[in-house]
Amino acid sequence: MNRETMLMHFGRTQTPGPANPPIVRASTVLHDTVQSYRETKAARDTNDRVLSYGRRGTTTAHELSAALCALEEAEACFLFPTGVAAIAGGLMPYLASGDHLLVVDTIFPATRSFCDTVLARYGVEIDYIPWNTTDLSEYVKPNTRLVLTESPASQSYEVMDLPALCKNAHDHGLIVAADNTYGSSWLYRPLQLGCDVSIIAGTKYIGGHADSMMGAVAARGPAVDALRKHTATTGQTISPDDAYACIRGLRTLGLRMERHGENGLALAQWFQGRCEVSQVLHPGLPDHPGAGIWARDASGTNGLLTVDFCDWFDAERFVDHLQLFSIGSSWGGFESLAMPCTPDNGRAFGSDAGARAMIRFHAGLEHVDDLIADLEQSFCNA
């Protein structure tokens, strides 16, 4: 079955019944017999869809995790209240005090902060590696346990050769986890490229409407058991209302990603023709680092692009004059956004530009002609 068709049928109940799984709010789950209670508690150790207690999710969350599990082609998927919570939940099952973690240097800044503060405080040793690393030999130590990747890179979109990196990491006996928020289970599937764990901030494209918070961690193979136990022990789940919103978002994921991708690439190409622009970062542009690898491993691009304006141009004044692009954190919703960013800030392997300020855009679902007209008027007024 094609994935586009699968999106329409996830969570479908027996007929007659609702098209979407209903919102089920519950903490306590009642039983008629002690035997039923004990059988349920025993079953949930291996069956992630058993309705046993609200801390392990209700049927609404179970349907969402099953859908994401299918899209990622994973063996199991667990839900978290935010994307950063999913990062924490996707790393901590595999790390202990004294272990060594390798992290790609172009990782999302909030992930870097979690690693450098929380994990470091609990005795995990952390080193950063360049985005184009495929041989880990010079970085691996006897206590190295895991490699955390993100491709394309946060804010600058460098593309990693995940199949090559994963093969090398597995030769060293390491687990590989990937932040797959950019691809969001649709454009990119790290587990099929060799990763053991795929982490997604479903707040972005999965929800798609800027009104829900969710993170997900999908896994396969030996990585599943530790993840299952850690998630249950730490009480991670999401609200039934957010689960419902994300299931509803899945219905249009394919269509939205197609429009976001078209608009994002069109804006990137348009910006390249402006004299005020020094550089445009977008993995769909032919001259972007790793564009060929992304074309090989992925099925398109999303709505993100980052623009490096010339030194003489007041980029923030330009953003202030935009009317259809709002200023705000996050991305992946229906709306277009623009905000200042410094991709190289804090990185160990920064570019020649250093911590240079740029503008990150997210192309929403508006008509691209209107978005370009807004950019043109802002250039005229900035």
Q: Under CATH, which architecture does the 253-381 domain have? A: Alpha-Beta Complex (3.90)
**pTM confidence score:** 0.95
Spatial distance between the Cα atoms of 148 and 197, rounded to a whole number of angstroms: 9
Query: In the chain, how long is the greatest CA-to-CA distance?
Result: 75
- Domain ranges, ordered by start, for the chain: 3-250, 253-381
Q: Residue 125 is inside which H or E element, if any?
A: strand 125-129
pLDDT recorded at residue 72 = 97
CA gap 41, 341 in Å, rounded: 47
The single residue listed with the structure tokens 């996707």 is: 90
Topology agreement, domain 3-250 and domain 253-381: no
Q: Which CATH number fits domain 3-250: 3.40.640.10, 3.40.50.300, 3.90.1300.10, 3.90.190.10?
A: 3.40.640.10
Counting every residue, how long is the chain? 382
Concatenate the DSSP letters of all residues of 256-303 into one string.
HHHHHHHHHHHHHHHHTT-TTEEEEE-TTSTTSTTHHHHHHH-S---S
CA torsion sign, 199 to 91 to 86 to 331?
Answer: negative
pLDDT digits (tens, 9 = 90+) for 188-218: 999 999 999 999 999 999 999 999 999 999 9
pLDDT tens for the chain, 382 residues long, are 899 999 999 998 778 888 889 999 999 999 999 999 999 999 998 899 999 999 999 999 999 999 999 999 999 999 999 999 999 999 999 999 999 999 999 999 999 999 999 999 999 999 999 999 999 999 999 999 999 999 999 999 999 999 999 999 999 999 999 999 999 999 999 999 999 999 999 999 999 999 999 999 999 999 999 999 999 999 999 999 999 999 999 999 999 999 999 999 999 999 999 999 999 999 999 999 899 999 999 999 999 999 999 999 999 999 999 999 999 989 999 999 999 999 988 899 976 545 677 999 999 999 999 999 999 999 999 8
Q: What is the dihedral of CA 33, 34, 35, 36, to 10 degrees?
A: 60
Residue 97: partners with Cβ closer than 8 Å, 6 or more residues away: 122, 123, 124
Q: What is the pLDDT of residues 35-55, one digit of tens each?
A: 999 999 999 988 999 999 999
Tell me what pLDDT residue 382 has: 80
Q: What is the pLDDT of residue 355?
A: 60
